């Protein structure tokens, strides 16, 4: 009995250490991510970094919380186990492992379904934050109609899922063109309401010419409910000086 009591006491100590380490890991991984974002000065580079890494780091932090909960659960009712018998220690351990596995898949799905909504808001804010030219002037983001006078014609193969933002310094004429890939981002699904609606594939139904606009068909698919939609996008006609 005394041996069991010593073992359970040591076990609880290890679990509390694991709890502290897991929580510390979650906090540190989020702080590290935000610190990396803070170090990046260019908003486009900041945008690309957040788009590429934020969900992964957030998931690591969630894993730390899940492990912390598992460690805490393995200290629950230890005094009763001492009197009831060690078989309940193994029961508690088995139940905790089962809930740990279930929690892993449940929270993985929740992160995949819900977090993109918050990520897209942050990306939109980064994309629309006014840029500053090398001369220190606040630049203006051009409207879609204004962009046509500044963008050179892009190759037909580059039309797919590509969007451009053009920032202009009206005082000096300095221009910055930023390229974004639409297929990397999720939209709110009209069927289930989750931000799991992405471009699945695209096809050019009518190639643009010098005299006529082209037509691009975008095929969307929800990764949660498998809802599908098709959307037509007009491709601007080619400029007369196109090579």
Residue 150, pLDDT score:
60
CA distance 144 to 178: 14
10-residue stretch averages of pLDDT, the chain, 243 residues long: 78 94 97 96 94 94 96 88 84 92 91 88 93 94 74 50 86 91 80 86 81 84 90 73 44
Phi-psi region of 95 (alpha: psi -120 to 50; beta: other; left: phi over 0): alpha
Outline where DSSP puts E strands in 87-183: 140-141, 162-168, 175-181
pLDDT at 149: 63
Q: What pLDDT shows up at residue 155?
A: 46
* pLDDT number for residue 74: 92
* pTM strictly above 0.85: no
Give residue 151's pLDDT. 60
Task: Return the pLDDT at 156.
Answer: 44
- The beta strands (E) that lie in the chain are given as 140-141, 162-168, 175-181, 197-206, 214-222, 228-235
């Amino acid at each position: 009995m005394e041996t069991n009591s010593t073992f359970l006491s040591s076990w609880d100590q290890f679990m509390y250490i694991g709890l502290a380490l897991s929580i510390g890991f979650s906090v540190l991984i989020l702080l590290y991510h935000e610190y990396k974002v803070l170090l990046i000065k260019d908003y486009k580079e900041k945008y690309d970094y957040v788009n590429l890494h934020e969900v992964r780091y957030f998931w690591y932090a969630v894993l730390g919380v899940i492990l912390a909960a598992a460690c805490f659960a393995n200290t629950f009712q230890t005094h009763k186990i001492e009197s009831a018998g060690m078989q309940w220690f193994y029961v508690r351990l088995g139940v905790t492992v089962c809930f740990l596995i279930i929690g892993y898949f449940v929270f993985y799905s929740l992160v995949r379904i819900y977090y993109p909504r918050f990520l897209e808001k942050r990306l939109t804010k980064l994309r629309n934050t006014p840029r500053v030219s090398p001369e220190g002037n606040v630049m203006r983001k051009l409207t879609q109609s204004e962009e046509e006078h500044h963008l050179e014609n892009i190759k037909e193969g580059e039309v797919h899922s590509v969007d451009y933002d053009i920032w202009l310094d009206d005082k000096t004429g300095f221009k910055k063109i930023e390229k974004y890939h639409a297929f990397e981002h999720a939209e709110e699904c009209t069927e289930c309401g989750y931000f799991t609606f992405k471009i699945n594939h695209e096809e050019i139904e009518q190639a643009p010419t010098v005299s006529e606009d082209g037509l691009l068909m975008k095929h969307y698919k929800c990764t949660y409910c498998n809802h599908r939609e098709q959307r037509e996008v007009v491709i601007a006609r080619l400029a007369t000086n196109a090579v």
